[in-house]
Structure formats: C-alpha cells, structure tokens
Chain A
Amino acid sequence: MPRLTLEQLRERRQAASKQVRPGNGEFKGKITVHMGTCGIAAGARPVLAAVHEELEKIPNSSVVVTTSGCAGLCSREPMITVALLNTPPVKYGELTPEKVRQIFAKHVVDGAPVIEYAIDSGSEFFKKQLLLVLKNTGTVDPERIEDYLARDGYVALEKTLTLLTPENVIEEITRSGLRGRGGAGFPTGIKWKVCRGEKKTPKYIIGNCDEGDPGAYMDRSLLESDPHSVVEGITIAAYAIGASRGFVYVRSEYPLAIQRLQGAIHQAREYGLLGEKVLHSGFDFDVEIREGSGAFVCGEETSLIHSIEGESPEPRQRPPFPAQVGLWGCPTVINNVETLANLPIILNRGAEWYSGIGTATSKGTKIFSLVGKINNTGLIEVPMGITLREVIYDIGGGIPGNKQFKAVQTGGPSGGCIPSSLIDLPIDYESLKEAGSMMGSGGMIVMDEDTCMVDVSKFFIQFTNDESCGKCSACREGSDAVLEVLTRISEGEGRQGDLEFLEELGRAIKDASMCGLGQTLPNPVLSTLRYFKDEYVAHITDKNCPAKVCKPLIKYYIDPDKCPGCLLCFKGCPAGAVKGESKHVHVIDQAICTKCGECLEICPPKVSAVVKLSGKEAQELQSLPAPVPVKEWRARRALETGTGVRR
C-alpha cells in the first residue's frame, strides 16, 4: 500500500466512519465479541464460534461480527455487544453458546433484547465513569486501523504535524497539567522540555508497559483493546522531544498485547503514519517493541533502559536523569503507555478543557483496576478527585457476601493500605501520598474482613524481597530483615519491640535505597502499622489472627452441635485428618491437620459446621476424643442445656 498523504488519510477516515455505525453503510446490525485476555480466558472463543454459527443460519442478515478488546466489566466476561439499526446497543454478559443462541433468536431476529442476560448500561458502574482513554476499548476492533480512524484516530497527529511546532506541543501538554500515569506523577511537559533542551542526538522515546504491579492491568487492556492510541501518542511525544526512534517495552506475560501492538505498528507503517516522512511531512519516526522477561525492577526507568541495552537490568543513580542521559547515553523520555494514550485526547480537545477535569494538582482521568473482594470487578476510568466511597460502593457495587469493607490497597508493592475510616478520601496523587500510599499504576485491591493485614504486608515484602535486584544493601538485606520479623509475627513468635523495630527499619530502608523499588518497599508495612496496629498487637500478644488467615495461629474445628455426620469432609480431607463415620459427629485430629481448608470449603453452607478458630479459642480448644453418634450427642446437649435440639 502506498504511504498516505494528509488528504488521503482524511478520505480514508471518512470512508471508515461510514462503515462502523449500523445504517450508514451496507449493514444494519453489528455484533461485537469482547476478546481481551480475560474475555478469552472466560470463554469468549466458543461464544464467538456460536455467534458465527448462528449468523450463518440467517440468510442475508446484513449483520456483521467484529471482535474488540475488553469492555471493562471483567467479572461479567465473556460479553458481547449487539447494536442494531435505530436501537441503542445492548451489552450481554456471562454468556455461554446456549445463551448466544437465545439472544439470536429473540434480539437479532425479532429485535427484542433479552433483558435477563443484558447488563444495565445505566447503572452506577457506567454512570460515574468518565471514559476518555478507554473510550475506544470494547468498541473498536484493535486489529483494524479503520475502526480507530473512524473514531477520530490520528486526528491529533495530523494537527501536530501540520499546525504545531514541537515547542507548541510541549507548551500545550504542560498547560494541561498531565502527570505521569506510571505512579510517581512527574509532570510530563517538564520531562519533555528537559529532553528537548538537550543538545545530544539522537533522542529516544520509550513507552513503558512493564506493568509489574500485581493487581494492575490497565496497560495490558489498553494495548489489547486500543493499540493505535498508544502508537499515535508515542508519535506525538517523539515529535515534541525530537526523537526519531521509539521503543515500547512490554512484559512478556502479555502475549496478546504484544501481538496486537505489533499489528498496529505494522498497519501504521503501511499507512505512512510511521517510518520516514510521516504523512509526507519532514518528520521521521519509527517504533519497535522490546519485551521484558519477568523482572519487576525493569519498570524502573534506568533499569528498563539497561534491559533494552542488554545490560544487567539494575537501576543506576540519578541524576543524570534519562531525559539527559538515557538509552545508549542519549537523551531519552520514558512515559507510561497510559500517559501516551492521553496525548491525542489533550491535543484534540485542548489543554483548558483537560485541566478542567480533576483537582488542583491532579488533572484529567485515571484508569484503575478495581479488583479483589468487590462485586463489580473491572477496569474503570474516573476523574481525579473522586472519593474512594464512590469508587467502591457506587461503581464497585460494594463487597460481596455482605462482608465488612476493611481496606483498599493502591500502588502495588510500593503503595499502602487505606483503611475504611478514610473512605471519603479524594483520589489524587497528593492525598494518596499523605495517607501513606501512592497512586502507582492504578491497581485498587479491595480487602474485606477476611483479609489479614499482617499477611498482606508479608505478601508484599516477599514480593519485593524476591524482586529486589540486589544492587544496594538497604533494599536487599533490609527486605530480608523485615520479612523475617513479619514471618515470625505471623507464626505467633512475635516479640515485644518487633513493631518499633519494623518502623525504624522501614524508615532506614526508605532513606538508604537508590531506586524507587527500595524507597517504597516499606510502604505496605508502614501503612498497615499506621492504621492496623491492633492487628499486629493481637498477633504478638494474644497469638490471635483476627481475620483467621495466618495458618500457624488458626485451627479448624467441627462444631459438634451442627455436624450431621454426612461424611463430606471426611472424604474430602486430603490429609485424612477428619475422623468419623456415617451419622457420627466428625472430629478433626489437630496433630494431622495441614490446615488446607478443604473441609471448610466442602461443608455445605446450610450446615456450616466447620469453623476456623484463632487466639484464645484455638489454644483452649478441646475436641471430642472420638466420633460420637449424632443422635447421642444431641441428646446429651439437650440434657446439658435443658432445651430441645434446634435442628
């Protein structure tokens, strides 16, 4: 295909926009199957097959089938969207091939939406969100550039190349107040300006998609669902700083994202949106993908640079900052891919409009992955400054199973836990930092009463301890020492003075570490110590795990008053620790029990005879010496208490 001129691009865009909406073009209906990684894992492939199968049965239907990325509401995958002429599109969730057949029969053929499978698009989950970066995800086909063009794709790039000088672009982005979406929140415009001012050439731009924070997956979803927005963004950034080569660094754990981005880059090259003389202007730029290989520290910018160079991926001292001395010693800007995807939006709609969204210091929107113990799990995009309460209760739909909301963890292993008492906290860079956490890349993991905070901080320290590159001893040895103390506490071997030691050590690690990983690694411990000290104290003094998670501190116990002697747990126990026979009250042999929890899972909810005990209850536990017939036990209890047997 010949490389396009500006005019040709505009023509193509117009032609494409006619094709995407039902009615404008040759078809009157469109069915979109959402095929992100989560969709596919939840079974989107058989759903897609069923859609094709059903469609073949309808002759001359003029309904087209496309695929797209994630639609945001991950807990309801697999999903499809049915858009028919003159009716609003309907999203269906939790589908199976069988349900697809019903939807075809009723909705596609007869035009009557199947209400029971439909997702309420007027619900709070959608209403409170402000979709800017995610506006295309779940709508465009990530493998077709026309879909992106039809939705004003590459308009911002056109504008940049024809109307703006690089200085104008930097100026506009600076005025918009855009800050890095990777976590630290450094103002993007300022970073660019430094790099632009450097004399040394060549310059490089790197898109950072080494999304290592566990619990965050917005970058993956962005690349899987709307890769062209990142390609457009990185091209604009390159123009602004004067780079002619760019890299996108993607984790190897995201094979689908890599594949789709590769496809997008290929198409953009064919169209002349990348390569020599972009859109026949004087600007040359090309981009290539570099893959990570599973190292958390590579998300740190200097470490990422070393990884691309093929050097040992350890961070180095800053300054000089990468914007001055970066990849192969040349000035390099590293932006998170979400930051890059924000650029076309700002240039299309103006810095004033953009800076009107959000708070005084944090502008625009932020994508969060709302996960954990929450009803509506998914990717959400909200304006900065929204409160946690709105996110968790309105958008998230609250905690499943009527459990108590306990804390929300933001910022991954570098962040902290925000307790339920701070639920009205507005979400922006500064207030999260003040609360002892940080924005991070945007993971928001909701925890309920069944989550033990000591266990959570142990989990994070284990993570950072594993992932510490070992270059500086404060991080390497410090995380070892913290982990040792936390492990001791969670095993009921905590001592007086441990908490003071943790605090002191945490501060020392923060001060003495070189890169972000070390400087933030004590955060999970320090923030839980700040808000949940009583839980630590319970572990140390009472040997009690209030959430009943820490295995050495709990015991499984079968309540003889409730056990009907059904043999389910007896058969299910992998260790053979449950003693019993039919119609006899079962007993757990504590000496054999491995505390795997299988019995608790197996015990039917209406019986719920298996319970976890901790602290004093566990220490004073006296179980029956041997299984007793259920009838005999109940008679004995009735005598003791003087009441009738309840069940």
Chain B
Amino acid sequence: MRPEESQTLPIGAALVVGGGIGGMQAALDLTAAGIKAYLTDRGPAIGGVMSQLDKTFPTNDCAMCTMAPRLVEVGRHRDIEVLTLNDVQSVRGVPGNFTVTLARRPRFVDEAKCTGCGSCVANCPTRNHVQPLPSPPLELEPELRETLATTIARHKSRQGPLMPILQEVNATLNYFPENVLRYIAQETGYPLAHIYRIATFYSAFSVVPRGKYVINVCMGTTCYVRGSQGLMDKVSEMLAIKPDETTPDMQYTLKSVRCIGCCGLAPALMVGGEVYGKLTRKDVPDIVRKCGEAA
C-alpha cells in the first residue's frame, strides 16, 4: 500500500503503546472509528498512574470514577486486544504500514485459567518484604549518628519501638531532617515511607526546622471563648509570623495547640514546659521577651 492511500481508508489495525488513561481512550476512539486496536503496556495490568490516584487536578474529580468505565469497556471490547507485560523492541516501516516487534515477559500465571481471586497474592511469602531501593549515601555527623544509635538501641527491643524513638529524637533535634529519618529507617527496618507518614501525622512532630522556642497558644474551647485568638494575633503581630511559621533568626515558632488542659487559667499559652495563664494581650510582650532573655 502506498502512503497516500493509507490516509483516506480506515483499514488495518493500530497499536497503542501505554495502557494508561490516555492509551485506553485512544484505543476506544480508534475502535469507534472502525480500526482494530492493540493496547500494549509494560506493566502486568492496564490502568497506568491514574489507577493509583485518589483525585485529579484541578477539579478534584475522583480518579476511579473517570477510569473505571473505560477499564471495563476496554476489557470487554471485541476490537481491542490487550497485550500486557510487553516491551516494544522495534518499530519499522512507514505511516500506514508499520511492523512492531514486542517482547513478552513471562507472567508465571496461566491467563486462561486465572479467575483473579487474589489468593496467590495473599499467600506469597515474599510479598511483605521491603525491596530496598538503592538510596543516596547517608551523610550524618558522627556525633549525631552516635546519639541516634543509642536512642534506637535503647528502644529497639521494645514492642512498638517507633513512637518512643521518634519522640526522643524529636525532643533532641526539634525536627526530623531527612537524613535522620533515613537513618532510622535503615536501623529499624521500617520503610522510610512509613516513618515519613508517622512523622507528618502528629502535630508534635515536624519535618521542617523549628525555632528555639515554640510558642504554643492554646486554642482549646475554653481559651477560645475567653479570647485566645487575640493572644494569637498579638504574638503573630509581634514576631511578624503566622501560626506554624518560624522567625528568620530561628528563635521562635508560633503554633496553636489543642488544649493544654489549663482551662482554669484560660486563656493560656505554653513555651517549653512552662504554662502562662490568665493572659491578656498586654502580657504577651513580656513573655516573649522572657524567652529571649533566657537564651
């Protein structure tokens, strides 16, 4: 066939490389135009990255709601042939007449018989093994490494050691630098992603550096109805930072805290372990100055 003919006649077949949302839609559009489609993907299943997303930008639409109908349609479409676990080796030819060579990797499962029950996954003995990726070399100051090592050694034999370790490290460092989290992951055997999840879940932890003094303004109900928002505004105005921010000289971090249990002295704030109660906006400068002097 000559190239010019191919542009007018819908004949033959098309190969779509990549079975993500774009590839699936392309295959569906092709078949709607009367062309047989081969949909190939290097992974064991089609769906691509979108199948791992909860929401999509910018509309916050649910990813699965967009995707699921297309997955089903591709799966049952008579004119679409899904070729998973395939790598494209070569493409030769001219528009309208290509020859593509695919290399198929083994699945170790008989696709004709598999019902997709998933019990092989549940029973795989190596499924839960963490596959460590080659990570960048850890750079830790020897002193810090030693402190961390003692902390970890102290708690490692306990059941559920992660929280005590993180709490102790947080108390010394005030935040978790990335290399520290990596080191903890390496020494405890917890995946880094898990440790990161914990380190970002609790409000007492931080992965960004915090100031020497963390000013916790209590925003519990009692303090709130007794005017702690005013205190917060005053501290914020004095230090020129917003809540959850740190002054550029790394001295103060402003935080709102959910009830320090001193409702009898509302409104209150806490710096370090020290609680100041029955405050008005006028008291704020003194307290902030006092921290500075102690330094």
Contact = CB atoms under 8 A, between A and B. Distances in A.
Interface of A: 37-38, 40-42, 74-75, 77, 211-217, 220-221, 252-256, 290-296, 307-310, 312-313, 328, 369, 371-373, 377-379, 409, 412, 443, 445, 447, 451, 456, 459-460, 463, 467, 469, 574, 596-598, 601
Contacts of A221: 261
A255 B202 CA distance: 17
B222 interface: yes
Contact of B257 (A213, A294, A373): A294
Contact of A37 (B203, B261, B278, B281): B261
A214 B259 contact: yes
16 contacts: A37-B260, A37-B262, A212-B259, A214-B222, A220-B261, A292-B202, A309-B160, A310-B162, A312-B197, A369-B264, A372-B225, A372-B266, A443-B221, A459-B221, A574-B237, A596-B230
B261 A377 contact: no
- Mostly helix, strand, loop or mixed at chain A's interface? mixed
Given A294-B202, A372-B225, A74 B280 contact: no
Nearest to B54: A473
Contact of B221 (A75, A77, A294, A409): A409
B262 A328 contact: no
B190 to A, nearest CB: 8
B163 A378 contact: no
Interface centre among B160, B223, B259, B278 (most CB of A within 10 A): B259
A378 to B, nearest CB: 6
Interface centre among B163, B170, B202, B258 (most CB of A within 10 A): B258
Interface centre among B166, B203, B204, B263 (most CB of A within 10 A): B263
A456 B225 contact: yes
B92 interface: no
Contact of B225 (A220, A294, A451): A451
A598 B233 CA distance: 11
B263 A41 contact: no
A269 B2 CA distance: 93
Contact of B167 (A75, A293, A467): A293
Contacts of B221: 214-215, 372, 409, 412, 443, 445, 456, 459-460
B204 A294 contact: yes
A214 B267 CA distance: 12
B30 to A, nearest CB: 35
Given A252-B167, A308-B160, A596-B230, A42 B277 contact: yes
Interface string B244-261: 000000000000011111
Q: Can you list the 3 inter-chain pairs with the closest CB atoms, starting with the nearest? A: A74-B264, A214-B220, A310-B162
Contacts of A369: 263-264
B12 interface: no
Contact of A252 (B162, B204, B224, B268): B204
A173 B162 CA distance: 36
B205 interface: yes
B226 A296 contact: no
Nearest to A467: B258
B225 A253 contact: no
A287 to B, nearest CB: 14
B275 interface: yes
Interface in B127-154: none
A293 B233 contact: no
